[in-house]
Structure 1
Amino acid sequence: MPEGDARFRLLADNAPVMVWRADPSKACDFVNRPWLDFTGRTVEQELGFGWAEGVHPDDFDRCLTIYTEAFDARRPFSMQYRLRRHDGAWRWLLDNGRPYEIAGRFAGYFGSCIDVTEMKQALDQRDELVAELTHRIKNTLAVVAAMAEQTRRNSRSAEEFHPNFLGRLHALSRAHDALFRQGWTGTTLELVAREALAPHIEPGRISIAGPDVTLPANGAVALGIALHELATNAVKHGALSTDAGRVRLFWGEAETDGEGQAWHLLRWEESGGPPVQGRPGRRGMGTRLLEGGLAGQIRGAVTLDFAPGGVRCTMRLPATQGLA
């Protein structure tokens, strides 16, 4: 073996990348040791066009087209494709090839490959996150617009509109804080409840108890706003308007009905406040949101009971809708 060729092989075998070489006929005539370590095959199996046997079937035609077209045009190329590793796993490779000459004549191609699987996965996750964030921003803006319109319709003056709308915006913000803590994919019922009721929680006034229940993003936002409406009503007219008043928020393990559907029952119970004089004659935004909008968003049911001893609200949350 000529000394120059031996030095090239020594250098290539110790390179931190997979190196290949092809002759003018497009056939591979060299692969380095890292390449063989990656594929777990012999050099005889890889030479010629044997290397292509490890290319993922879904990438094969595209890979071969890029390779042959670049070869025929004598131009560099860069492509990504999946190659089967020695353990059977498909790994994404970034393959860069460049033509070279000897004594002014085209002699073939040199190329190198690096495993970019983790980087590609990270980029894919970033793209998914950007798409999800865009979707959430649009949804949030729609919610804000709807809250503004509903608050305007139910406010008798600009002075009444401002604190009501600001309170609902803060409730929306706290619901998003709960989602942020859990990576935006969902959050826990308890965290949503504590964030929503944080401005009203005083020692001994509000109790929150129940097992671990996970809420999806949409359900968390809807529930956070709903609990804000209940608390706001309790502060203005109900149990939290007096020193003796108390609120109990609790839920239990999922229960299955006769049709095989699992549900969580979330209960809000007020006591010790002024006597309730029945259902209000004027159906405000909070009542409409609880009985209409919330029920639709959580795909469950909401029941309001204006009992003399204190308002009670029961929410039926489906455990199979990401609420398990």
Structure 2
Amino acid sequence: MTDSPSPAMSNSSGWRNDERARAAAIAEYGLEGLRDDAALKRITDFAAALCDAPIALVSIVEEHRQTFLSRTGVEATETPRETSFCAHAMVLDDLLEVPDATRDPRFADNALVTGPLGIRFYAGVPLVRDDGLPLGALCVIDTAPRAGLSDLQRQGLRVLAADVLARLSDNRSAAQSRAALDDSEGRFRVLADTMPQMVWSTRPDGFHDYYNARWYEFTGMPVGSTDGAEWNGMFHPDDQDRAWAVWQESLATGAPYQIEYRLRRADGQYRWTLGRALPMYDESGTIVRWFGTCTDIHEQKEASEQREIVAHELSHRIKNIFAVISGLINLSARSNPGFGPIASDLRERVTALGRAHDFVRPHSAQSRPSASQNSLHGLLSELFLPYQPETSPRIFVQGADFEIDDRSATPLALLFHELATNAMKYGALSSDAGVVEVATRRDGEHAVLEWQERDGPAVTVPTKTGFGSQLIELSVVRQLGGTIDQRWAPDGLRVAITIPNPALRRN
């Protein structure tokens, strides 16, 4: 798709060159009254489902901003015009597709690409009035690059864009609007019957009254035989209660419906299927329809299970490697008695790494830790077990919890192992009354972890930097990209560690 202007725009260049006149023309539509319009919301919901995209928008591009009359998948109601993809789309004579915005010189430095939204894929159909007035675009957006839309999806977006223009028209009577909606419904049914996915819809109470041709082709059931609640009988017996419960929860709350289940194919085989549905609302905010799809994911599900088995086996072998390394250290210490103290420290560090790995590694249902495997507090609890008396804990962790992953678990384990070991040898934990308090809190885009020792022996400032201190510095600064402030106060060591949130867990 090129960035050349449409014939309509070429014949009406005044609209582009006179923003005041264009703004006045746009104002005639009374767009404020169309914000979050139910009919437009149904269109963006359907556009997102049709294109399997997380975001769909009806965007009106004005002089200094673009306004979202309807939005699915985002909270923002407007953005500056200079960041607008739709400003590019609306001057074309057909759909604009951007497979990967980071590779497109028009958008690579766009704040919507480089910022939190992280746009990668964009497809937009221009909304242009008969006299050439460019209004904006109907678009779908994804945060992952894509090769492009299918021919059917492009056709569907064009049909839906025509419906948007019909809804925006200021010279249509209520009767004409209803006729346009009926016509849209008819086109929807034609479009749905040509889709490769199974498509269905229900009344507000959940009564299934429509399935497309693909559903009946896949299941081999007679037309109408799965209406009402009979659809649940098509699922594997072990999945029926679960699917029914999830569907009832969506009906009760209006929350999007999503579930994986095994659906019986016409040949009797049960195939893993992803079911999704969104509610559609009228002007008063009442649900008037549910629109859903069923997608065969059987091959992907089996491949995922195979990858999980491999991950479990690999993780188990890595755990065994830690045990072998500890054993080799013990053997070396026995053969070289002078190596004993160093070997003991090294073995404890390896053991701490093993604990961290065992906490975040893939587990079976039986071996999974009681704490969430992405929990910082859970990891600390595992690491501090060797230092905690059974009857009276001496290390206390409190404050905001943070999500972590396997990448950050290793430096965190080394960091807190060194702090705890030093506390046992020289600090608060070296006396019976001493305790350690670990407080975690959020500070904007950073996590702040504070280590406070108290009620221990008098603190003396170390005169030289040992390997353990260097290891702490390496873990925090080089591996986690954070900062560390250590203060040897008379009442106990205080350590403040600041770590950027992205360093704790990958996006």
Partner of 1:268: 451
Q: Is the 8 A contact 1:247 1:268 kept in 2?
A: yes
1:250 to 2:439 alignment: yes
Deviation string, structure 1 residues 63-82 (Cα, Å, up to 9, x no partner): xxxxxxxxxxxxxxxxxxx9
Question: In the aligned structure 2, how far is the partner of 1:211 from the partner of 1:188?
Answer: 10
Distance 1:120 1:166, change over 3 A: same
Partner of 1:178: 359
Q: Is the 8 A contact 2:415 2:472 kept in 1?
A: yes
Alignment match of 1:305 (pick from 470, 479, 487): 487
Q: CA deviation at 1:118?
A: 4.0
Distance 1:310 1:130, change over 3 A: same
Q: CA deviation at 1:128?
A: 4.5
Q: Is the 8 A contact 1:267 1:315 kept in 2?
A: yes
Partner of 1:123: 302
Distance 1:283 1:156, change over 3 A: farther
For residues 36-55 of structure 1, the aligned pairs below 5 Å read none
Deviation string, structure 1 residues 4-39 (Cα, Å, up to 9, x no partner): xxxxxxxxxxxxxxxxxxxxxxxxxxxxxxxxxxxx
Q: CA deviation at 1:309?
A: 2.6
Partner of 2:421: 232
Partner of 2:374: 187
Distance 1:248 1:86, change over 3 A: closer
- Point out where structure 1 has 5 or more consecutive residues left out of the alignment: 1-55, 59-81, 95-111, 257-261
Distance 1:184 1:201, change over 3 A: closer
Q: Is the 8 A contact 1:185 1:217 kept in 2?
A: no
Question: In the aligned structure 1, how far is the partner of 2:387 from the partner of 2:377?
Answer: 15
Q: Is the 8 A contact 1:208 1:250 kept in 2?
A: yes
With the length of structure 1 as denominator, give the TM-score of the two structures.
Answer: 0.53
Question: In the aligned structure 2, how far is the partner of 1:299 from the partner of 1:182?
Answer: 28
Q: Is the 8 A contact 1:238 1:273 kept in 2?
A: yes
Alignment match of 1:218 (pick from 407, 425, 431): 407
3-state SS in 2 of match to 1:247: strand
Q: Number of residues paired by the alignment?
A: 215
The letter for the 1-side match of 2:303 is D
Partner of 1:292: 474
The letter for the 1-side match of 2:353 is L
Partner of 1:279: 462
Aligned alpha-carbon RMSD (Å):
4.2
Question: In the aligned structure 2, how far is the partner of 1:195 from the partner of 1:175?
Answer: 8
3-state SS in 2 of match to 1:214: coil
Q: CA deviation at 1:310?
A: 1.9
Q: CA deviation at 1:320?
A: 3.8
Question: In the aligned structure 2, how far is the partner of 1:165 from the partner of 1:217?
Answer: 21
Question: In the aligned structure 1, how far is the partner of 2:341 from the partner of 2:456?
Answer: 24
3-state SS in 2 of match to 1:275: coil
Question: In the aligned structure 2, how far is the partner of 1:292 from the partner of 1:156?
Answer: 29
Partner of 1:50: none
For residues 142-161 of structure 1, the aligned pairs below 5 Å read 157-161=338-342
Partner of 1:28: none
Q: Is the 8 A contact 1:172 1:225 kept in 2?
A: yes
Higher relative contact order, structure no. (Cα contacts within 8 Å, ≥ 6 residues apart): 1
- Point out where structure 2 has 5 or more consecutive residues left out of the alignment: 1-148, 152-194, 201-211, 219-266, 273-295, 362-367
Q: Is the 8 A contact 2:388 2:395 kept in 1?
A: yes
Q: Is the 8 A contact 2:484 2:495 kept in 1?
A: yes
Q: Is the 8 A contact 2:199 2:214 kept in 1?
A: no
3-state SS in 2 of match to 1:299: coil
Question: In the aligned structure 2, how far is the partner of 1:240 from the partner of 1:157?
Answer: 27
Question: In the aligned structure 1, how far is the partner of 2:434 from the partner of 2:484?
Answer: 23
Q: Is the 8 A contact 1:186 1:217 kept in 2?
A: no
Q: Is the 8 A contact 1:278 1:308 kept in 2?
A: no
3-state SS in 2 of match to 1:279: coil
Distance 1:236 1:83, change over 3 A: same
Distance 1:272 1:185, change over 3 A: closer
1:84 to 2:273 alignment: no
Q: Is the 8 A contact 1:184 1:217 kept in 2?
A: no
Distance 1:173 1:197, change over 3 A: same
Distance 1:185 1:310, change over 3 A: closer
Partner of 1:69: none
Question: In the aligned structure 2, how far is the partner of 1:57 from the partner of 1:300?
Answer: 45
Query: Which piece of structure 1 moves more, 270-279 or 173-182?
Result: 173-182
Q: CA deviation at 1:201?
A: 1.4
The alignment-based identity, stated in percent, is 25
3-state SS in 2 of match to 1:215: coil
Deviation string, structure 1 residues 251-283 (Cα, Å, up to 9, x no partner): 12x222xxxxx1121111112222222134142
Distance 1:127 1:296, change over 3 A: farther
Question: In the aligned structure 2, how far is the partner of 1:159 from the partner of 1:214?
Answer: 37
Q: CA deviation at 1:173?
A: 2.1
Distance 1:218 1:292, change over 3 A: same
Q: CA deviation at 1:90?
A: 9.8
Question: In the aligned structure 2, how far is the partner of 1:89 from the partner of 1:170?
Answer: 59
Deviation string, structure 1 residues 183-236 (Cα, Å, up to 9, x no partner): 999521111111111111131522211123211222123212211111111111
The letter for the 1-side match of 2:470 is R
The letter for the 2-side match of 1:163 is S
3-state SS in 2 of match to 1:278: coil
Partner of 1:162: 343
Question: In the aligned structure 2, how far is the partner of 1:134 from the partner of 1:298?
Answer: 28
The letter for the 1-side match of 2:443 is E
The letter for the 1-side match of 2:417 is H
